[in-house]
Structure 1
Amino acid sequence: MLHSGKEPAVLVVEAGNTTTTFAVFLDGLVADTVTITTDSLFVPDQLQELLHPFRAAYPGMRDAVLCSVVPGVSAAVVGQLAQLLPGTVMQVGSRLNLPFLLQYDSPESFGADRIALCAAGRQLFPGKAVIALDIGTAITFDVLDGCGSYLGGFIMPGLDLMARSLHERTAQLPLVAIAPPEELLGRSTAECIRNGIFWGCVSQIDGLTARIMKTLMDQGQVAPAVMATGGNAPAVAPLLRVETLLVEHAVARGAHYLYQLNRPCL
């Protein structure tokens, strides 16, 4: 089935450490998505086969946006996208026209995913302070004030990284898949690991979020909005003490917003 809209479809490629999501945006909304493992991007012809149904369904799609935290993927995918699509391939980075003021010691080292997530925060909560959480392979906090100035953040290991570290750095602890536990306390080694990591993560995010909110409010800011995305966000966000907006495809949405802001300059 062919699709048409007021604006041409735009492809956003969000390449993370573990998975890569391809999202087609039509009239500012996510119209189609597919997610694959990031490693499979290096399989010959994988990208061409994956994009074939998108190109058939959205014949007006010309441009693409790449938001990648994996340098090897960036180098490999940009060239392929340029060959497969007739328009421009934009890469998310600190040199773009940003909807926030990025105050960071080395702006070029600020991850593309964090740039896109901050952009999404500004789009969703204009004029308001924002705490943006990405609960994935790593857990990141990024904080904007109500004027759109970047105040700073945190980077911590995610749930799966914590589980893997316990397994790899000890002699007897097993590798445990982390999922929301039914009870607070564990009654086996596996349960103790799972419950400790999961509830520890929830409490850690709760505690840091409370500290950030107090700091902002002590500075005269209105209570910030809190948003969350990432693979483990659906499990963690509903258990946080502060009201948290769970935003699906927030990084891709932010990347598309950056495309809209920078399109005249491309």
Structure 2
Amino acid sequence: MNQRLNLQLLDFVEQVGSAHSAEVAGQSLITFARNAGANVVHAFMGTGLDHFRATTLPDWAIEFDCAIPGLLTAHTVAAVRSGQPRVLWGEELDRGNPVVTDVGRQMAEFRKEHFAQNSSVSFAMPDADGRYRGGGVGLGFEDRAAPFLQRMEESGGVLAVASFATHARMQILSSSGVQNSPLSKRQAEILQLLAAGFQLGTIADKLGISDSTVNLHLSQLKKKLNVKTKEQALAMAVMNCWVKP
């Protein structure tokens, strides 16, 4: 499999490098990683709910991750600060690992219970200024500890290159796409539907997310724009041409 992945990697990097949107780049990684055996793929620009991400996880699982207190003190971050290029984690792998925090164990148990993710590799990605703010790529596998470690020995390097290439392209595209607007992609979608006259429940249905997720996005948006109501947020967005009236 390693030789096959090495050959596919060259085509993949070229494909991602020419992706015209962060969504396309992220979807390419999902396809590549799934072909390499991953059952969970999660590429993210930060730990906030409104940070762009390409993922196989449903919204309710992302809400769970974002609601965990102390997420930025998880073992992934601790490992980054200690200079490790990647983090291998999972219920079996975490046993006896002094770097693993309670937050890390909580995430591992949650992923195993709901997504059959027994083991995972996380590649933490710094921002353009070299600082780490929570962005990265996580790939989950059904493998138990021993076969997973063998998989990483054979194809971990290829997956790392694919992840770094994708994240770099996503970072460039998502940054250039919002330079004139502070809105995240999801926030813009919600405001655009509000501008079209839809109620919050209908907006949730159209976007395939829960009512509580819509309200959470709006709460973060109002804080970002320093306004008190969704109507004020919509007015500001229309005035600045961030959404169409």
TM-score for both structures, normalised by structure 1: 0.27
Q: When you count helix as a share of all residues, which structure comes out higher?
A: 2
